[in-house]
Structure 1
Amino acid sequence: MSIEVANESGVEVDEQDMIAAAQYALARMDVHPAAELSITLVDMTTMADLHLRWMDLPGPTDVMSFPMDEIVPGGRPDATAPGPSVLGDIVLCPEFAAGQAKESGNSLSAEIAMLTVHGVLHLLGYDHAVPAEEKEMFSLQNELLQAFRTEQEEVARKEWLAARDARLLGRAGFLDD
C-alpha cells in the first residue's frame, strides 16, 4: 500500500500513527494492497478555501476526501478480483482537529487517526448525509478505530516484554559471549 503524506499545515503530527491507521482501515476493508492514497495536512485558511470551493460551505472543517477510482468494499460476488487503484486524497486540518481533540478529551494523535479512518471510509463510498448512512459509517469507523488501538496496544506490550526480557537475560549473563 502506497500512502504519501504531505504536511503543509505547520503543525507537527505523528505521521507514522496516521499512516498506520490508514493502512489498518484499508486492510480491514479488503482494499488491494497496491492501492495508492495521498494524505495532505493543511492550515485553517487552506481548508476553509477547499471547504468553500468543493462543499460550498464557509469556514474550515476537519477532513475532506476526494475519491479518484470508484471502489466498493467487498464488491459484487460475480465481479473480478479488484486490482490496484488510486483511492484518492484525504485532506486534514490538524489545527481544526486539535480544537476538536481538546473538546472531546482526546489526544491530537487519536483525533488525527479518527479523521484518517473517516476519510478512508469516505474514499470507499461511505457517507453520513442521512441518518441510516451516518449510523452505518460511524459504527464502522468506531469498530475500526477500536480494533486498531487494541492491535497497537498489543504490539507495544510485546515490544515492552521483549525489551524487558533482553535486559533480564543480559543481567543474568545469558547474552554474554
Structure 2
Amino acid sequence: MNFEIDILDETTKLTEEQIELAKSIISKAAKMEGLTGPTEISVTFVDDKRIQDINREYRGKDTPTDVISFALNEAGEEEVQIIDPEGPNVLGDIIISIPRTLEQAQSYEHSFERELGFLLVHGFLHLLGYDHLTEEKEKIMFSRQEEILNAYGLKR
C-alpha cells in the first residue's frame, strides 16, 4: 500500500518518537481497514486557541475540542466531488489539540501516547465515514477504535 501521511506540528511540542507513533498508528489503522492503492492524509497538531478557531469557523462551536476531521471524499448535497482517477485517494485532514490530548491522558489516567493514538484513530475513522451519531453507530465506531488500538499495542 502506498500511504502518505503529512504531519505538521504547529505546537513544536511533539518528539520525533511521538510523530513516528502518529504515522505508525495511522498506517496500522489503514491496513486494518483494508485501504489499498495510493492514499494521502494530513494530520496537524495545534494548540487550544487554534482548534477553537477552527471549531468556531467550521462547526459553529466557540470552544476548544480534542480532534476535528475533514473528510475530502464526502460530497454534500451542494458540493462537487473532484477525484482524479489517476491520483491518490486523498482522505482528508485530522486536527488534534495537543493541550487537550495531555489533559485527557491525565484525566483518564493513561499515557499521552495512548490518548494521542485514540484521537488519531478516532479522527481517521471519521475520514472513512464512521460516526457516532446514534447509539448503534457509536458502538460500531468505538469498538473498531479499540480493536485497532489493541492490535497496535496501545491498551488502556
TM tier relative to shorter chain: 0.7 to 0.9
Q: How does 1:1-177 map to 2 (within 5 A)?
A: 1-13=3-15, 14-70=18-74, 84-149=88-153
Distance in 2, matches of 1:107 and 1:136, equals 24
Paired amino acid for 2:137:
E
Give runs of ≥4 in structure 1 deviating > 4 Å.
Answer: none
Q: Shift in Å at residue 33 of structure 1?
A: 4.3
Paired amino acid for 2:101:
A
Q: Secondary structure at the match of 1:129?
A: coil
1:166 corresponding residue in structure 2: none
Provide the identity percentage: 35
Of the two, which has the highest radius of gyration?
Answer: 1
CA contact (8 A) 1:32 1:84 kept: no
Q: Normalising to structure 2: TM-score of the pair?
A: 0.84
CA contact (8 A) 1:44 1:96 kept: yes
5+ residue gaps, structure 1, are 71-82, 151-177
Q: Secondary structure at the match of 1:87?
A: strand
Query: What do you get for the CA RMSD once the two structures are aligned?
Result: 1.7
1:46-71, Cα deviation, whole Å (9 max, x unpaired): 0001111111112111111001124x
Paired amino acid for 1:109:
E
1:78-132, Cα deviation, whole Å (9 max, x unpaired): xxxxx84000000011111100000001111111111101011000000011111
Q: Normalising to structure 1: TM-score of the pair?
A: 0.74
